[in-house]
Amino acid sequence: MRSGLHNHPSGVPTPSRADIEMTKTIITTAQPLGITVHDHIIIGKNGHASMKGMALI
């Protein structure tokens, strides 16, 4: 079981298109190995964004 976490140097925690695509690729690749990605959280200057909470994954 895994969750991803990273920060955006810009301070804006909104997931980029690249963040979303890479996370979906990781989920697809990890699934046959029995690894479940539960969330990908991005930390920003004034808060955070959860891809799961935003229904992006």
Q: What is the pTM of this model?
A: 0.78
Q: What is the DSSP string of 9-54?
A: TTS--PPPHHHHHHHHHHHHHHGGGT--EEEEEEEETTEEEETTTT
User: What pLDDT sits at residue 3?
Assistant: 59
Q: What is the mean pLDDT of residues 32-48?
A: 90
How far is Cα 5 from Cα 33, in angstroms, rounded to an integer? 20
Per-residue pLDDT reduced to its tens digit, 1-38? 555 667 787 888 889 999 999 999 999 999 999 999 99
For residue 38, which phi and psi values (nearest 5 degrees)? -90, -30
The pLDDT value given to residue 31: 94
Mean pLDDT calculated for residue range 37-57? 91
37-44 vs 47-50, strand pairing mode: antiparallel
